[in-house]
Amino acid sequence: PPLYIITPTYKRPEQVAEITRLGYTLKHIPNIFWLVIEDATLQTPQLTRQLKRIGIPFEHLTAPMPNKFKKNKVKPRGVSNRNRGLDWIRANATDGVFYFADDDNTYDLQIFHEMRYTKKVSMWPVGLVTKYGLSSPIVRKGKLDGFYDGWIGGRKYPVDMAGFAVNVQFFLSRPKAEMPYKPGYEEDGFLKSLAPLNNTEIELLASQCTEVLTWHTQTKKNQPASNLDLKKYNGTNLVKLRD
């Protein structure tokens, strides 16, 4: 059964670079389908072009953040995209497992091999999250016994987006499951929407959560490029380079 990777992305100077790095990681994984969903009304052509180059099966979709959230100080980043991915799964997938992979994070290949066998929901540690440097399920005597995270915020599931995967058939059996537009509570809200789900049913990967196989990394923001002086460079390679 396939592994569906749901990646939210948005147009910015780093976009194609991020997608290139993630894409060549995913290229090592057999039987994968990549849902790349842009927070935009129109696809960025440079992104479509790069997705074709990378050469793994993909779908390039768009799902703009609703306008009412755009003026918020803290925006619900990647939520419209992920919900669009979930709609696609409902319409097109019948089995397998899906995973929300942000475009800027870092993934050890081992986690993809492990998450593929998720029966309902699986979880594992994520490195570089908040002041604790780590977000992880706490495992005691082989059982899930709480969560370690620098910010609990009253959440039932204080986990990072990079730290869990979901079985498609299990998801399809939860017709109301979706991600809320609630900054900080996206993971928690989505996992709660999968209820009923008992803690004993959560599968603990990465050697019972003793290894870090995913990292919540962040890329330094780059300045948007300045305008090209067309009078000076018209007819040169620079015009194409800056497409």
Q: Which residues are catalytic?
A: 187
Stretch that binds ligand UGA, among 5-13, 53-61, 146-154, 224-232 (CB under 6 A): 5-13
Q: How far is the CB of 214 from ligand UGA (least distance, A)?
A: 11
Closest CA to 99 of 217, 205, 7: 7
Q: Which does 77 bind (CB under 5 to 8 A by kind): Mn ion, ligand UGA, none?
A: ligand UGA
Burial of 50-77, coded b for 16+ CB within 10 Å and e otherwise, reads: bbeeeebebebbbbebeeeeeeeeeebb
Q: What is the DSSP string of 76-129?
A: -TTHHHHHHHHHHHHHH--SSEEEE--TT-EE-HHHHHHHTT-SSEEE--EES-
What are the residues binding Mn ion (CB under 5 A)? Answer: 102, 104
Q: How far is the CB of 71 from ligand UGA (least distance, A)?
A: 13
The rounded distance, in Å, linking the Cα atoms of 8 and 220 is: 18
For the window 144-163, what string marks contact with ligand UGA as x by the rule CB under 6 A?
A: ----------------xx--
The rounded distance, in Å, linking the Cα atoms of 67 and 231 is: 38
Q: How far is the CB of 240 from ligand UGA (least distance, A)?
A: 26
Contact status, residue 93 vs residue 167, Cβ threshold 8 Å: no
The enclosing H or E element of 21 equals helix 15-26
Q: Which does 183 bind (CB under 5 to 8 A by kind): ligand UGA, Mn ion, none?
A: ligand UGA
Give the residue with the Cβ less far from Mn ion, 103 or 203.
103
The rounded distance, in Å, linking the Cα atoms of 94 and 78 is: 24
Regarding 72 and contact with ligand UGA (CB under 6 A), the answer is no
The rounded distance, in Å, linking the Cα atoms of 69 and 101 is: 22
Stretch that binds ligand UGA, among 50-58, 75-83, 143-151, 204-212 (CB under 6 A): 75-83
Q: How far is the CB of 16 from ligand UGA (least distance, A)?
A: 12
The rounded distance, in Å, linking the Cα atoms of 205 and 57 is: 26
Residues 18-57 that bind ligand UGA (CB under 6 A): 39
Give the residue with the Cβ less far from Mn ion, 101 or 209.
101
Residues 209-228 that bind ligand UGA (CB under 6 A): 216, 218
By the criterion CB under 6 A, which residues form the site for ligand UGA?
8-10, 39, 75-78, 81, 102-104, 160-161, 183-184, 186, 216, 218
